[in-house]
Amino acid sequence: MIGLSHYLIVSAILFSIGLMGVLRRRNLLMLFFATEVMLNAVNIAFAAISHFYHDLTGQMFAFFIIAIAASEVAVGLGILIVLFKKHGSLDLDDLASMRG
Amino acid sequence: MDNILSVLVFFPAIAGLLGFVVDKKSARAYGITVAAIEFLLSLWLWFSFDTSNAGMQFVEMIPLIPDFGVNYYLGVDGISLFIIIMATLMTLIGMMSMSIEKDVKNMIITLLFLEMTMVGVFVALDAIIFYLFWELSLVPMLYIVGAWGGPLRVYAAIKFFLYTFMGSLVMLVGMLFVAYVYHNLTGVWSFAITDWYALVLPVNYQLWLFAAFFLGFAIKVPMFPFHTWLPYAHGQAPTIGSVILAAVLLKMGTYGFVRFSLPMFPDASVMMITPIAVISIVMIIYTAMVAYAQKDMKQVIAYSSVSHMGIIMLGIFALNSEGIGGSVFQMLSHGIVSGALFMLVGVIYDRRHTKLMSEFGGLASVMPKYAVIFGIMLMASVGLPLTIGFVGEFLVLLGFYDVSPIMTILAGTSIIVGAVYMLSLYKKSFFGPITKEENKTLKDLTPKESWSLIPLVAIVIWLGVYPKPVLDPINKSVNAMLVFMDEKAITAEAKEMIKVPHAATKTGEVK
Amino acid sequence: MENLVYIALFAPLVSSLFAALFGMSPKKQFVGVVASVLLGISLVASLMLASYVYTTGNTIHVTMMDWISAGDLHIPFGFVVDQVSVTMMSVVTLVSTVVHIYSNGYMDHDKSFNRFFSYLSAFVFSMMVLVMSDNFAGLFIGWEGVGVCSWLLIGFWYHKEDVSREENPSISPSWAANEAFIMNRIADLGMLVGLFILYWNVGSLQYDEVFAALPHLSGSILNAAAIFLFIGAMGKSAQFPLHTWLTDAMEGPTPVSALIHAATMVTAGVFLVIRANPLFSMTPDVSYFIAALGTFVAFFAASMALVNRDLKRIIAFSTLSQLGYMFAAAGLGAYWIALFHLAAHAFFKALLFLGAGNVMHAMHDELDIFKMGGLKKTMKWTYIYMGLASLALAGIPFFAGYFSKDAIIETAWNEGTLVLWLILVVTAGMTAFYSFRQVFLTFEGDERYKQYGIHPHEMYKYVLIAMSPLAILAVIAGFFKEPFEHFVTALLPEYHMSEHTHHIAWLLGIVVLVFAVGGIALAFKKYYKGLKRDEALESSWYYKLLANQYYIPDFYEEFISKPYAMISEKMWNSVDMRIVDATVDGIAKFLYETGDGSRKMQTGNLSNYLNWMAVGAVLLLVVAAVSAAVIG
Amino acid sequence: MFEPIKVSMESLNLITLAPMLIAIAGGLVILILDLINSKLHKSLYVMLTILILIVDFGATIGLNVNERGFFNVMLIDGISIISQLLIIVASILFTPLALTSKRFHEYSYPEFFALFLFMVAGFQFMVASDNLILIFVGLETASLSLYTLIALHNRSNSYEAAVKYFTMGALAAGFFAMGSAVVYALTGSIELYQVAQVLAARLHETEIVLAILGSSVLLMVALAFKLSLFPFHTWAPDVYEGASAPLAGYMSIVPKIATLVVAVRVFGMYIDLGVEWVRDMVLILTVITMTIANLMALVQEDVKRMLAYSSISHAGFIMAAIALDTTEGTASIFLYYALFMFTNLGAFAMLWISRHKVRHFSARFDHPYEKFAGLIHIMPMGAVIMALFMLSLAGVPPFSVFWGKIYVMQAAVNAGYVWLAIVMGLNSAVAAYYYLKLVVYMFLKEPVKDVDTVYYNLSKPLMAVIGLATVATVTAIFYVQPLISYLYYMISASGY
Amino acid sequence: MYEMIAFYLFSALTIVLFLITVMSKNVLYAMTSLASGMVLISGFFFILGADFLGVVQLIVYVGAVMALYSFAMMFFDATRDIKEKNTPASLIFLLGGLSALVLVLMFAAPIHSEAIQALYPIHDGAGNAQDVGIVLFTKYLVPFEVAAVMLLVAMIAGIILAGKKMDQSLTKDTSVDAEDEILIQKDAK
């Protein structure tokens, strides 16, 4: 029987995959993908907990997370566009004029 | 005038603010006038001071942050009275003798603010107010050393500031802890020193708190091995900076010991007698030897300050009336004498722009007045009887003899080693033939310099011959403090070590 | 009478201040005159006091004002005029007055004439405070005061350059002044400690209170107090091992040597012992040590005087030697004899020095007696004065020294300390020898000075006249021994020779006399006809040892001064800068470098930042897991 | 099949929403004004913004303590009111800094002010709720606006700053979400008051200790990022450097106040429940943060970057008060920020007025130390004011930050954390060095270059802001008492 | 049973797809796999009875977000393989692995408690959309409205950041200062 833990473990694994992506990626666009993965992983957890507790709060949270993710994409892409116009690159390694 | 203390504290500050408006060329005259008024005010304080009263006088108390126990709480007793007068006097004299050409106006304003903080430290009866002035005094000094100093001035100024700042922050934690304990016991927040005096703390608390306060004060004094900022600060500071630093700022540390450490932690003080005496003796002998090795006149006097501060520390921890009274008197005497000596070095520096002893020799022939005044100050510095320097040193050694004869003998070597470096300095600079061509045409003291030094000479001799008017009020307050410490001490050992003079017990002088 | 006390005390101060007013101006003759007159007033006042005390037997005790009071300590400015102090006052003011007058002549070419009088009078004032004070603290004021004046006067010709020890054993006036001051300070510390011991055990520093309380004190405390006070006395009176400064002090002008380093200041140590006689009489061991040390110094100093070539240094060694005699007497309990010798010595030694000053004046500051000779032609009066003084010093009968010194030697016999007696007797012979060696080499024989192109001349008349009181006293002082004894023993313990000693006194006197005359005869034989140098003798090790003062100054130089300077240098360079300060700077530097190092984590690269964040998060998670495992 | 739900207006307690609604409405008004007439001058928007914020302030101060509204989503307790007030005051101080004498890109957008007001509303929501959803949404609203505001400065550094902030913010958001999920899994609720109840009942279950600690860690990562605690602080210096000076100053205060409120609510809950591990975690992180940031600030060459590190250090300093979990500790947070706000905004405003469009002094930095060398000779008043700010930041009495500092240290001592107080003290001593460095440059060095006035960007409104900040900094001693008693009253009323 | 099969299938697939998203060098692959993964996640939602959420997931993520990403991809011309100097794999796997390990440990515990009462219970008879609707428009109305503001912010931000006006920067242009402004305080001296 599939219990809450199963879902949560899947969620944990997906979250870690997302985290690995964030760590690994140097291309900003791809990096954003990885953050989406993380948020989606959390959504699974919320939906599952909601299901097992018979409680709607989890779904609400997941719902808002989706909204937040969408807004983040909009703003993130906006920033990426100005950055790209300026630098012509989305590579993180080109983006280190401020340090120390 | 009941609020004379507030006037004393804030008059220079307000004058300093108004000073921004004064024209550059008149700034000096303005500063001297203000300092003179301030000095007269402090004399007035003395005249209206009730010498038969050992407690705090002219007390002012305005709640500032009552929820936190911080009050604007001022007062003087015999111990602080004369240090205040000395602070105002040295500021005045320092300004009179000032030879700075650059940014005189800034200097005057800075000095006036510094005067506020100096007076503030000595009149504050609230720990936070004390701390406030204590820290604030660093700022003008930083500017004075840093802006008008020698080539290493920035290093010296920052070292001075940070070192003292570091120590006093630890002290601040100690203060906060005392307030916390006070609150625990009484349910009231208070930072008033007089309230804290009533606290009877367990011995282990006393020791820790003593250590916290010690760090703050010891760096300021400066005690070995925290003294290394001092030679830099003095070496780099302009004359006026050295004068104020040596005369007043260092006294804040020793005053702190008398005002805080002793009455608040009598048992810890007794337990710390030996370590502190050892440090003091190291200060006395070691720094005297280091002073002897110096090539620079000012450095000699700087190190001699450390050595003399060792005497003062020793006297404070004699924990008897002779020792503490002597220490407080020695604070005054060291203030005036070292201040004068720094001014004297400044005189020659103004002429030759060097302070190296090897550059001089035979100055007594070309600058006889200068040599005479230097000689008098030198003799006061080595503690010649009938000069101000003797009274304090004698009383301190006398007082500490009761604690430990051996240590007194070791500390007493200060009269020998002190003579060694001072005389050698005098010989190298003033005696012998004139070897350098440029020294042959040196001008003797100008009237300005003479008139700033002669009052000091007069005081040096006056208080050497007749110290009674100063010593009596000091003694009165010290006796009261000792009676009180003795009553408060927990351990039998402390009760035994704290010597209440018969005079105080006979007349039943209990606070 | 109180007024007289103040006049006697403050006239020299007034004189000093008056002279100081003109201290920086060129020579003004009236300064010297006024100073001399004021000193004369002080002398008169002292003598009047002396006669008052002598005739009435009363003592005068005045308290001027409070000085220091702190805790239970109360020190007034109090003065006592009793038999001892009035004797000292008279001697001091008498010699001072003569020296002041003398200085008018001696210093007449010196451009710091006025300054000289200021210092000299200041010295007299300090000395008066020293002898008149009614408490130990007041004594200490005078004690230090004379020290400073001595410093000022030794270094009077401060402008002279430092030279090597070979060229001038005292290096320079300023060097000698510092040496004197510092050495005295070492002793002063002892004295201070003595004061502290008395204060904490008695509760006062007043003589009368202290002495009254002495019987209640334990022996060890008394011994300690006596020892430390005597250490103080050793410094002022230049007792071994603190004696080197005295000969170097000869760098000062000769009147100074006469007044300070012969007649008055150096006897302060003896005065202290006499003053504190109740204490020292209760500590026989310490007293015996004092006597032994005194005897040793008497011999030791005389031995160095035998070979010295420097006119003033010979007299200085002689002073040292005579101080040894005084301590011997005081240590043996014959306080009044010590005081008597002190006074007599003051007269003839001052005379001797002033005579030497005349010679110097004549010889243009040449001091080497090998370069003199035959001066009797030009300097008849000086020769007479110095001859008289030397006779007194040698203890030839009926001169002052005979009465005082013989009494000391007799005391040594009387106390049964035969070793001391023997040494003192031998020393008496040596004293006679070196005194007359000096006199003969200076005044008799061939005129060796001529090859140096010196044209000597006699001193001014008035100076010679002024010296006459000293000469007279050097001759006749001895005859006042009986009244003097009667006078001072009102205060000091009486000292009588035992019956047996009294019985053989004449025999003892003859022994001493034989030695003294023998010494003179030897000097006569060797030096009367002129200088015959004995190369073999001069190159012998013992001659060199004596000539180099037993190498003690070199020893001090090598083992005290230089190491002190070296250690000081090390303390500064190695300890203060390299350890203490370097630690402070090291902490600051460490913090700064840590900052610089940790700043590397701010690479500016976002990926690194994200890594840091993940590392932080994972680390916290792992710690949480471990903690949970531990807790769970 | 459901019954119609009846909800009374009283039970909704809409007044609790009023402050945020005012800010949002204000933002919308600005947007509409721009639609109607696009030629309006920025000064209009500035003044409008200030007016809106003033109304907002009035609405906030009128709120009653300890009310809940809108199905218990809104929580108006003492700390929510005082933090909102602080946020609004800081925003009011910030707004006039737009009126520089020179033109900068962001202020040419009316939307800037609208976004700014939305951001304020976001922060207000964040502090006025104990519902993790609303906190999260408020946080994101504010953050997204902030990213945009940074990027709008429109130069290479500001994009870089925005990207860094944004990306790390996204990662932090992931952690926040995950942390909330764990909390939800543990308790079936995301409202902290419910969470506390359920957790209290479940504390004895040893199997879920890891989950409890883990939830605190995940939330900590998210909040520590916002608070710039080590090692989540790496964005801060770069973002401060890339953002315009006023915004950097703003960022060092307002988001931190808002996040601290959340942290007080969240970690205060854990500590109250007796999870000592969380207290230790907070203490360790804060001690490391204040120390490392101080050390890194020592070696900076640019004043703004130095102030960035100093802000990190201050945040660590004050975050430590959370671990104390006493009323004084919590009060000290707000006292500290109330006092720190004026000084720090003042300091950043001083940088702002000295901002040149071209970098005269250094290829990389806008505000290298050299720029201020010898300022006392060029502009004595400016130098003195800047020095006052620096001394205040260093904790020299009687300037404002000192009072905050001793109050925090007193709170630490009272809670038995004397060692923490000593660490704070020693850190202040280290910190004094870099503040002094600027003072040294201004007062003790000679000017480097003779370029035109350092205070290039000065205008009357900026002077007014700086004057206000100066007065507040210097006269702190006189208003600390009412401030403390107000804060203490509010906080003890809300049970912290 | 079906649930189990579906769960394992979806789990395996999402893990693989997201791994591709994270590991792939090609943006297109990454994005496609991300989109597919999100679709599968909506599958989880459906299994868990969160139908409304599943639909929103499909619409918002797969519809809106992915569309945005595709436009962005085209704008950035990122269809080619991406050359990245990736962070050392060991570090990534260490951190990823450790975090996965701790999270799994955390979730493997019996975190589910029967004692917990649902505060906003799911009504068995009613559709999910109705349940969600009631809670969303009562309890979560405020967050909902705030989310609306957030979206407004995102919209404005997107518009102005991508707008033409950003091409020229006043911040760097010194020439515009002369014509400015009423508030100039000329010459600060």
Residue of C nearest to B427 (CA): C174
| Mean pLDDT across B481-496 | 89
Residue type, B257: F
CB contact B469 to C (< 8 Å): no
CA D277, D279, D281, D283 torsion-angle sign: negative
Q: Could you give the dihedral angle defined by the CA atoms of residues C487, C493, C498 and C503, in that order, rounded to the nearest 10 degrees?
A: -20
- CB burial of C484-515 (b: ≥16 within 10 Å; e: otherwise) equals bbebbbebbeebebeeebeeebeebbebbbeb
| Mean pLDDT across B466-493 | 90
Sequence-ordered list of residues with C-beta below 8 angstroms from that of B138, at least 6 positions apart, any chain: B160, B161, B164, B165, D396
Choose among B326, B329, B365: nearest Cβ to C159.
B365
- For chain E, the chains sharing at least 3 beta-carbon pairs closer than 8 angstroms are A, C, D
- For chain A, state the CA radius of gyration: 17
Q: Where are the domains of chain B?
A: 272-465
pLDDT tens for each residue of A53-81: 989 999 999 999 999 999 999 999 999 98
Give the number of other Cβ atoms within 10 Å of residue C600's Cβ.
11
Residues of chain C with Cβ-Cβ distance to E91 below 8 Å are 611
Choose among D133, D148, D188: nearest Cβ to A55.
D188
Nearest chain C CA: its distance from B432 CA (Å): 4
CB contact E146 to D (< 8 Å): yes
Q: Could you give the dihedral angle defined by the CA atoms of residues C381, C383, C389 and C394, in that order, rounded to the nearest 10 degrees?
A: -160
**What is the model's pLDDT at position D450?**
63
CB contact E108 to D (< 8 Å): no
> Which two three-digit tokens encode residue C628?
């949970």
Residues of chain A with Cβ-Cβ distance to C614 below 8 Å are 19, 22-23
- Whole-angstrom distance, CA of residue C199 vs CA of residue C217: 12
Residues of chain D with Cβ-Cβ distance to B173 below 8 Å are 409, 413, 418, 421-422, 425
Residues of chain C with Cβ-Cβ distance to D207 below 8 Å are 632
> Which two three-digit tokens encode residue C139?
């004594």
**What is the model's pLDDT at position E182?**
41
Residues of chain A with Cβ-Cβ distance to D185 below 8 Å are 4, 8, 45, 49
In 3D space, the residue among C180, C87, C191 whose CA is nearest the CA of residue C141 turns out to be: C191
Residues of chain C with Cβ-Cβ distance to A97 below 8 Å are 604
- CB burial of B274-309 (b: ≥16 within 10 Å; e: otherwise) equals eebbebbbebbbbbbbbbbbbebbbbbbbbbbbbbb
A66 dihedral zone (left: phi>0; alpha: psi -120 to 50; beta): alpha
Nearest chain A CA: its distance from D138 CA (Å): 10
| Mean pLDDT across B454-468 | 93
| Mean pLDDT across E10-14 | 93
* Contact call for E116 and D198, based on CB within 8 A: yes
Q: Where are the domains of chain D?
A: 9-493
In chain C, which among 556-615 make CB contacts under 8 A with chain D? 591-592, 594-596, 598-599, 601-602, 604, 606, 608-610, 612-615
In 3D space, the residue among B287, B509, B254 whose CA is nearest the CA of residue B420 turns out to be: B287
Crossing angle (nearest 10°) for helices B414-430 and C173-202: 160
DSSP string of D183-237, one letter each residue: HHHHHS--BHHHHHHHHHHHTT-GGGHHHHHHHHHHHHHHHHHHHT-TTS-THHH
Alpha helices (H) in E48-88, listed in sequence order: 51-56, 66-76
CATH class of A4-93: mainly alpha
Contact B384, B341 (CB under 8 A): no
- In whole angstroms, what separates CA C213 from the centre of its chain? 30
Contact E176, E170 (CB under 8 A): yes
Contact A16, D152 (CB under 8 A): no
CB contact D140 to E (< 8 Å): yes
Contact B43, B85 (CB under 8 A): yes
Tokens 């106040």 found at:
D257
Residues of chain D with Cβ-Cβ distance to C602 below 8 Å are 234, 237-238, 296
In chain B, which among 331-360 make CB contacts under 8 A with chain D? none
**What is the model's pLDDT at position E119?**
84
Secondary structure letter of residue C27 according to DSSP: P
- Whole-angstrom distance, CA of residue B352 vs CA of residue A82: 65
Interface test with B, best of C136, C192, C202 (most B CBs within 10 A): C192
- Whole-angstrom distance, CA of residue A22 vs CA of residue A38: 9
List, run by run, the mean pLDDT of 10-residue segments along chain C (632 residues).
88 92 87 92 92 89 88 89 90 91 86 90 93 92 92 90 83 90 92 92 90 90 93 90 89 88 89 92 92 93 88 90 92 90 90 88 82 83 89 87 87 87 91 90 83 82 87 88 87 84 84 90 85 81 86 90 92 90 92 90 89 93 91 74
- For chain B, the chains sharing at least 3 beta-carbon pairs closer than 8 angstroms are C, D
Please determine, for residue E78, whether its predicted confidence score (pLDDT) is greater than 80: no
In 3D space, the residue among D334, D459, D448, D443 whose CA is nearest the CA of residue D388 turns out to be: D443
**What is the model's pLDDT at position D374?**
86
CB contact C201 to B (< 8 Å): no
**What is the model's pLDDT at position D453?**
64
- CB burial of D414-426 (b: ≥16 within 10 Å; e: otherwise) equals bbebbebbbbbbb
H or E stretch covering D32: helix D18-36
In 3D space, the residue among D235, D379, D58, B269 whose CA is nearest the CA of residue C605 turns out to be: D235
Residue of E nearest to A81 (CA): E162
Choose among E4, E97, E161: nearest Cβ to A78.
E161
* Contact call for E184 and D459, based on CB within 8 A: yes
* pTM score of the predicted model: 0.93
Residues of chain E with Cβ-Cβ distance to C624 below 8 Å are 102
Do A and C have ≥3 inter-chain CB pairs under 8 A? yes
pLDDT tens for each residue of B232-261: 999 899 999 999 999 999 999 999 999 999
**What is the model's pLDDT at position B509?**
45
Give the number of other Cβ atoms within 10 Å of residue E4's Cβ.
12
Q: Is D38 helix (H, G, I), strand (E, B) or coil?
A: coil
- Whole-angstrom distance, CA of residue C410 vs CA of residue C509: 8
pLDDT band at E188 (very low <50, low <70, confident <90, very high): very low
Residues of chain A with Cβ-Cβ distance to D174 below 8 Å are 15, 18-19, 35, 38-39, 42
Give the number of other Cβ atoms within 10 Å of residue D185's Cβ.
30
**What is the model's pLDDT at position C449?**
81
> For the range D199-205, what are the long-range contacts, defined as Cβ-Cβ under 8 Å and sequence gap of 24 or more?
D199/D269, D199/D273, D200/D273, D201/E115, D202/E113, D203/D273, D203/D274, D203/D275, D205/E110, D205/E113
Residues of chain D with Cβ-Cβ distance to C596 below 8 Å are 299
CB contact E2 to A (< 8 Å): no
In chain A, which among 3-62 make CB contacts under 8 A with chain D? 4, 8, 11, 15, 18-19, 22, 28, 31-32, 35, 38-39, 41-42, 45-46, 49, 53, 55, 57-58, 60-61
In chain E, which among 22-81 make CB contacts under 8 A with chain D? none
Residues of chain D with Cβ-Cβ distance to A22 below 8 Å are 171
> Which two three-digit tokens encode residue E172?
């760097």
As a whole number, the mean pLDDT across chain D is 91
Residue type, C13: L
Residues of chain A with Cβ-Cβ distance to D144 below 8 Å are 71-72, 75
Question: Residue E186 burial (CB < 10 Å; 0-12/13-18/19+)?
Answer: exposed
Strand partners, B57: B76
- Whole-angstrom distance, CA of residue C287 vs CA of residue C223: 10
- CB burial of D153-173 (b: ≥16 within 10 Å; e: otherwise) equals bbbbbbbbbbbbbbbbbbbbb
Length of chain A, in residues: 100
Please determine, for residue E189, whether its predicted confidence score (pLDDT) is greater than 80: no
Strand D67-69 with D74-76, pairing: antiparallel
* Contact call for E87 and C617, based on CB within 8 A: no
Q: Where are the domains of chain A?
A: 4-93
- Whole-angstrom distance, CA of residue B164 vs CA of residue D20: 48
How many C/E residue pairs have CB atoms within 8 Å? 22
Do A and D have ≥3 inter-chain CB pairs under 8 A? yes
pLDDT band at D347 (very low <50, low <70, confident <90, very high): very high
Please determine, for residue E181, whether its predicted confidence score (pLDDT) is greater than 50: no
Contact C113, C14 (CB under 8 A): no
CB contact A86 to C (< 8 Å): no
pLDDT tens for each residue of D167-195: 999 999 999 999 999 999 999 999 999 99
Choose among C159, C185, C200: nearest Cβ to B402.
C200
* Contact call for D298 and C612, based on CB within 8 A: no
**What is the model's pLDDT at position D457?**
80
Output the CA–CA distances (angstroms, integers) from residue D276 to C159, D193, D281, D282, in the order listed: 79, 19, 9, 10
- In whole angstroms, what separates CA D180 from the centre of its chain? 23
